[in-house]
Amino acid sequence: MATVPMAYFLAFLLLEAMIIADPDALQDFCVADTSSSTIFMNGFPCLNPKLAASAHFTTSILRRPGNQSGIPFGFRVTLVTPQALPGMNTLGITLARADVAVGGVVPPHTHPRATEIIFVLKGTLTVGFVDTANKFFSAQVKKGDVFVFPKGVIHFSQNIGNKTASMIAAFNSQAPGAPVISLNTFASSPAIPIQVLAKSFQISVTEVAKIRKNLGIGGQVQRRKQGGEAKSQQRELGGEAGVRSGRPLGLYKSQSGTGCIRGLTGYSDRVQIFYQSINVGLV
């Protein structure tokens, strides 16, 4: 006789837990600043509904293909953000257009806060992901094809055709995040200890330095040998400028694409321009 009431009670507890659960975070973390009047929240503050207009709910930002030149891996992402489409704020969705040059690669990365589904506009790509059991799933997709990347898995896209490939990507988050595995590992700020990387990848310290150099983060090992490791790392990673700004990586722009980027973020222009190709609005 007590079984049915207990079942109702457990169902009530489950429903209550679902109702009071926190919403998915759009930031990686939210440190409370009790002395600041600045608001950091999941999304942007809302416009007075009386001021809303039709123009807030439409954008043509995805009409134009992105320019892939000057990007180390040969791709450009154009992301729909609340700045371009104010009406999408807090709706938990976003769209992006990716244009990948011949031979270009959208390198292995994840979206920790979203599932991604792509629709190929033109070209031929190899796409794939690795699940938590280390199983690799892959497909060759062409115009009109659809592929889905589950939330949080490491995945990539490669243009294997003889012309630029383009695709539309949809995410079930306003800010899905886009940590790139190689750059997060070898180009973090501050840097992951070089001995940790050497041991983790079973390579030498010299090989770690070579990878960093190839990614535009070079010269760190030599400066450490000369002494003053902390100061060397600060110079290499641009000091505290990026930290003080409070802005996520990839939101800084330069009219020429070079120069001021390094000073603001600590990354070389080459790496930072790459980050701009994928992280603007995704972080």
- Show binding-site residues for oxalate: 111, 116
Binding residues for Mn(2+): 109, 111, 116, 155
Binding residues: 109, 111, 116, 155
State the number of CA atoms in the 13 A half-sphere of 152 facing the CB. Answer: 3
Strand arrangement of the beta sheet that strand 165-171 belongs to: 75-79, 94-100, 165-171, 116-122, 146-149
- CA–CA dist 172, 175 (Å, integer): 9
Give the residue among 128, 63, 73 at the shortest CA–CA distance from 97.
Answer: 63
Q: Report whether 217 contacts 194 (CB < 8 A).
A: no
Q: 199 CB contacts (<8 Å, ≥6 apart)? A: none
